[in-house]
Structure 1
Amino acid sequence: MRRCLVTGATGFIGPHVVRRMLDCGWEVISLSRHEELPLAGAHRHIAVDLHDIPSMEMVIKEAAASHLIHLAWEATPGKFWHSTENFHWVSTSAYLLDAFVKTGGKRAVLAGSCAEYQWQPDALVEDRSTAEGDSLYAASKLAFRRLAHTIGQEIDLVWARLFFPYGPDEDASKLTSYIFRELCADRLPTFQTPGNGIDLIHVTDVARALERLAVSDLTGTVNISSGRAVLPPEIALEAAKLLGKEALVPPLTELVEETSLSTALYGDNRRLMSVWEGAPMLSLVDGLKSYLKV
Structure 2
Amino acid sequence: MRLPKHFGLHVGLTSFCLLTIYPILWVFSIAFSGEQNISFANIPADPTAWDRLRAILPWPEQISIQNFVDLFTQQPFFDWLLNSVIVAAMTTILGVFLACTSAYAFSRFRFPGRRTGMMMFLVSQMFPGTLMLIPLYIIVTKWLGLGNSYFGLILVYATTAIPFCVWMMKGYFDTIPKEIEESAIMDGASSATIFWKIVLPLARPALAITALFSFMTSWNEFILASLFMEDEAMYTAPVGLKFFVGGFSSQWGYFAAGAIIVSLPVVLLFLYLQKYLISGLTAGSVKG
TM-score range, shorter chain: under 0.3
Give 1 or 2: higher strand fraction. 1
Q: Over alpha carbons, which structure has the higher Rg?
A: 2
Give 1 or 2: higher helix fraction. 2
